[in-house]
Structure 1
Amino acid sequence: MELRSLVTALFALLFWTPQLAASRAGPEVLHRDVCIIGGGAAGTHAAIRLQQKSKSVTLIEKEALLGGHINTFLDPRTKAAFEYGVAVFNNVSLVRDYFDYLQVPLKSFTGWVPNATAVYADLARGNDLPGPTSNMSDFLPALNSYKAQLEKYPYLATGFHLEYPIPEDLLLPFGDFCKKYDTRAVAQYLFPSNGGYGNLLATPTLYLMKQSSMDQVQGILTNDAVNNAARGRNQALHEVARTRLEKNRNDVFVSSRITRVDRTGESGVVVHINTPRGKKAIRASKLVIAIPPTLSTLTPFMDLTNDEYVHFRQFNNSYLWAAVVKNSGIPTTASLMNLDPAAPLQIPAMPQIYGTTPTPIKDLHVVWYRSPHLVPDWEVKSHIEEDFNRLYGRGAEVVVLKNHSPYLLEVALDSVQAGFYDGLNRLQEKWDTFWTGAAWKTNDSTAIWKFNEEVLLPMILASLKGRG
């Protein structure tokens, strides 16, 4: 027995001691120019562009894939793919250049099925409806009227660099703005096409104009949107981006959790992470945060400054879900718009399904659901199935559900008027920290990439040059 114990101890000494020693030695330390937290549209684009500028980068993402609001559904039977998250991009040079650099082909997008039709229903009551009160003859004049108003505020195109006093029209609830400028038909269009508004007609016009920008208006007027349907799925863009970053000796850590961010040193920041490849410590000259700047997302790993805390605690947000639904009962080639005949402009109160679209897979539809307040995922799933079963009685089933919350970060109008966004912009570069994403621009990939190009990258590059 003593000999067996001795042999066991020697075996442990020979084969396990190096691993134990490694576990006690602390995390692997990586030295980089920039560390980016968040691998969605904002963070991935920033990483690629910094790589193009010959800067070393580490990109950290909590999910297993890069892409953020991009969700690609791959049918296990047919292997056909379609998007139930971000489906289209604006056809502008910035988008084309980004896709070209990553060698991901683009082509015009006219929908997942040819000759798609539309049906209308009051899902809350389970009734079919004839359609919205406006039609295309109403919509185009309304859109041109909206465009004329939007042209008054060119500064909305890049970040929240506002002019004071803020024009009264920008502070109006969008429903009142639509009455004033006869753009009601635009509101009925925006309801199913732009997700995330807890209450569209009550949302300040400022936020609607940020979301429904001039690029989007031009795309509607020219019917000119693009996606990477040439490869069949938008997720390909982020897969290629990850490969390109790793090939050029940059780091991409997915399925990774940030445990602590230290910003107290004189030589940049240190980001501590747990990854599938072990613990890492990223020593970077600059930190870019490309996730929603809310207290719930940041405080678990980051000590905020007083200015950061004061600003971030003021954000409110809506909630958005995207789902793929089987047996909805909607005709195979039709989209469904949810209406409430008794509501202003027939726009139903949320939480509720607000629209659907057909897909290349028979009897699968993409469904969007939004709410002004938090709803558990299981409850959203139940609501979706109940609504379709009430209308069609077909045994609807949510195949996959993706929570895109928090969505559309906003602050109270008195804070906007008091200069909230000027203070938010002044947070850039303090403590070697830079910020990007929807809260700094809007929930639109093209607009966020434009913010990166025109605001974020020049600041980071100038700061790195100053340090060097």
Structure 2
Amino acid sequence: MSRTQASVLGLIALACAHFARAKIDERDFDAAGVIERDVAIIGGGAAGTYAAVRLREDLNTSIIVIEPKNWLGGHVDTHVAPETNTTLEYGVQSYMQYGPTVALFERFGVEFGSFTSRRLATLNVDVETGKTLDYTAPALNDTTEGLERWLQFVEKYDSLVEPGFWNFPSPDKIPAEFLMPFGEFARKQKIEAAVPRIVTISGVGVGDLRILSTLQVVQAFGLAVTKGVVEGTFIQPKVSNSLLYQRAYELLTDDIRLGSTIQETERDPTGVRIIIQSENDQVKTLIKARKVLWTPYPSQGNLKPFDQDAKELQVFEPWTPEWDYVGVASIPCIPENTSVQYMPRAVEPSDHLAIRDHPYFLTLGTTGPPGLHLFRVMLGANFSVTHEEAKAMVTSSVQKLVEAGTVNHTGHCEVDIKALSAHNGVLWPRGSEALEQGFVQELYSLQGHRSTWWTGRSWCEEYSSNVWAFTETVVERLLKSL
């Protein structure tokens, strides 16, 4: 048999296999219920919105965005205090001047300026009892020196991890420092004083920061964010972080399906078919696309309607779930201009590496405006927490402060949670074993597999600026596959 004959027979076999397993029948939909596009984009957060703008507006590629919420923006959360009509950013706080960030703001006419964080009095309390901890935080100079040492380290290896892990070395060539448990690395490199700042900004290491591979901390706090902290170059929109996404929605409206969820999917090398359903009218629509770009975090729950194959399951099943909530709460019993840090007692008197030695952490920080006793809530856990359970954890943690006499208040403190958003996700397998077995290479081998491309915070650093930069590299490769 000739090579040509073999190729033809192979294609016939592939086609037969496809039609034999096909579950989605286009005849079940009328003409108005079928949408054909070059690329179907799953998710309208930072990655999905950026990819949609680039593909449709700049690269002559037709798109459709499928977003389960009724707005674009992902981890951008904005609350308006009705008493003063003040906007409070309780999700994404600021941006690095990295990748396409500045150009994206300018493109949509979003004015921005330097980011300045509020100066708050810090109250460190025991996460279990609410009592004041005898914990001495690092001096500012020590923190700065630790961050500068960390900066030198991440700068040395930046080409291996940003934007994304396209150039990550094979298991036998991974830098030994990446595989080292972070606790051992931090002590060896004398960066312990930088750890509180690193975990406060990134949220990394809930349960035990020290057992993570150093690479996982690099992924959470790499070069761009470290430079932003050391050099003080973070920026923020002058009006609202949501403004960018509002204007992107106005531009892309005709190609966005808000309030829509995936019901069923078929993917193969020839293209994808996706059935979506609108929560508003329960109408089902068939999306036919040459490629699909997945942007949410790849949990098994999210991927359930996405017809994973054995190769994808092998990569995604071992990931570790994490539960994160951010919100705004009125807490009248805590003094304004205060930041309450709930930490394990193990940090006493100054064990900075023990700062995450508890199954959850909680931070409450004054947001302003004055007189409203509004606090930004940040809650992270390594166990399952529902929306209602998160509210209850915040309320009970505040009451602990009252019962312990940490705050000057008698009776029950009426906590009013104004807004609360889930920023849950999944993390790469902990420790270095998976890295030594080629996890990164297996992960990135999924790019383009079954007409599917992947982006978002699970594939790079989770900050919007990093996600935009990485998504640009995915878009370039996706286009070549078209």
Tell me the TM-score normalised to structure 1 length. 0.87
> Which of 325, 328, 332 in structure 2 is aligned with 1:324?
328
> Are 1:196 and 1:407, in contact at CA under 8 Å, matched by a contact in 2?
no
1:17 aligned residue: none
The answer on 1:274 being equivalent to 2:284 is: no
Structure 1 residue 222: Cα displacement? 1.5
Counterparts of residues 192-231 of structure 1 (less than 5 Å) = 192-198=200-206, 199-228=208-237, 230-231=238-239
Which stretch of the first structure deviates more once superposed, 171-180 or 22-31? 22-31
> Are 1:195 and 1:320, in contact at CA under 8 Å, matched by a contact in 2?
no
2:191 aligned residue: 183
> Are 2:213 and 2:431, in contact at CA under 8 Å, matched by a contact in 1?
no
- Residues in 1 aligned to 2:328 and 2:335: alpha-carbon distance in whole angstroms: 15
Deviations 1:218-264 (A, max 9, x none): 11111111111x11x21111111111112xxx511111111111224
1:306 aligned residue: 310
Change in Cα spacing, 1:329 to 1:222, as seen in structure 2 (3 Å) is farther
1:255 aligned residue: 259
- Residues in 2 aligned to 1:207 and 1:59: alpha-carbon distance in whole angstroms: 30
Q: Which runs of 5+ in 1 are unaligned?
A: 1-21
> Which of 304, 316, 319 in structure 2 is aligned with 1:315?
319
2:86 aligned residue: 80
The answer on 1:48 being equivalent to 2:67 is: no
Change in Cα spacing, 1:46 to 1:411, as seen in structure 2 (3 Å) is farther
Q: Secondary structure at the match of 2:49?
A: helix
- Residues in 1 aligned to 2:362 and 2:441: alpha-carbon distance in whole angstroms: 34
Structure 1 residue 73: Cα displacement? 1.0
Deviations 1:363-390 (A, max 9, x none): 0100111111212332222221122122
The answer on 1:36 being equivalent to 2:46 is: no
> Are 1:132 and 1:339, in contact at CA under 8 Å, matched by a contact in 2?
no
Q: Secondary structure at the match of 2:64?
A: strand
> Which of 395, 400, 412 in structure 2 is aligned with 1:390?
400
2:14 aligned residue: none
> Are 1:196 and 1:408, in contact at CA under 8 Å, matched by a contact in 2?
no
Structure 1 residue 328: Cα displacement? 5.5
- Residues in 1 aligned to 2:54 and 2:334: alpha-carbon distance in whole angstroms: 43
One-letter amino acid of the structure 2 residue matched with residue 238 of structure 1:
Y
- Residues in 2 aligned to 1:376 and 1:463: alpha-carbon distance in whole angstroms: 40
The answer on 1:145 being equivalent to 2:149 is: yes
The answer on 1:413 being equivalent to 2:422 is: no
The answer on 1:62 being equivalent to 2:74 is: no
Structure 1 residue 201: Cα displacement? 2.7
2:9 aligned residue: none
Q: Secondary structure at the match of 1:70?
A: coil
- Residues in 2 aligned to 1:235 and 1:197: alpha-carbon distance in whole angstroms: 28
Q: Secondary structure at the match of 1:125?
A: coil
The Cα RMSD (Å) is: 2.2
One-letter amino acid of the structure 2 residue matched with residue 110 of structure 1:
T
1:424 aligned residue: 443
1:446 aligned residue: 465
Change in Cα spacing, 1:175 to 1:265, as seen in structure 2 (3 Å) is closer
One-letter amino acid of the structure 2 residue matched with residue 63 of structure 1:
K
Change in Cα spacing, 1:62 to 1:437, as seen in structure 2 (3 Å) is same
Which stretch of the first structure deviates more once superposed, 413-422 or 269-278? 269-278
Q: Secondary structure at the match of 1:91?
A: coil
The answer on 1:297 being equivalent to 2:297 is: no
Q: Secondary structure at the match of 1:292?
A: coil
Change in Cα spacing, 1:24 to 1:183, as seen in structure 2 (3 Å) is closer
Q: Secondary structure at the match of 2:203?
A: coil
Counterparts of residues 78-117 of structure 1 (less than 5 Å) = 78-92=84-98, 94-111=100-117, 113=118, 115-117=119-121
One-letter amino acid of the structure 1 residue matched with residue 51 of structure 2:
A
- Residues in 1 aligned to 2:375 and 2:453: alpha-carbon distance in whole angstroms: 39
Structure 1 residue 24: Cα displacement? 7.4
Structure 1 residue 124: Cα displacement? 2.3
One-letter amino acid of the structure 1 residue matched with residue 34 of structure 2:
V
> Are 1:174 and 1:201, in contact at CA under 8 Å, matched by a contact in 2?
yes
- Residues in 2 aligned to 1:314 and 1:56: alpha-carbon distance in whole angstroms: 35
One-letter amino acid of the structure 2 residue matched with residue 452 of structure 1:
T
Q: Percent identity?
A: 26
Tell me the TM-score normalised to structure 2 length. 0.84
- Residues in 2 aligned to 1:184 and 1:328: alpha-carbon distance in whole angstroms: 35
- Residues in 2 aligned to 1:340 and 1:265: alpha-carbon distance in whole angstroms: 50
1:239 aligned residue: 246
2:419 aligned residue: 400
> Are 2:327 and 2:419, in contact at CA under 8 Å, matched by a contact in 1?
yes
> Are 2:65 and 2:257, in contact at CA under 8 Å, matched by a contact in 1?
yes
The answer on 1:283 being equivalent to 2:302 is: no
> Which of 327, 331, 335 in structure 1 is aligned with 2:339?
335
Change in Cα spacing, 1:78 to 1:176, as seen in structure 2 (3 Å) is same
Q: Which runs of 5+ in 2 are unaligned?
A: 1-26, 402-406
1:9 aligned residue: none
Change in Cα spacing, 1:419 to 1:90, as seen in structure 2 (3 Å) is same
Which stretch of the first structure deviates more once superposed, 351-360 or 47-56? 351-360
One-letter amino acid of the structure 1 residue matched with residue 156 of structure 2:
K
One-letter amino acid of the structure 2 residue matched with residue 338 of structure 1:
Y
Change in Cα spacing, 1:197 to 1:377, as seen in structure 2 (3 Å) is farther
Structure 1 residue 416: Cα displacement? 1.4
Q: Secondary structure at the match of 1:127?
A: coil
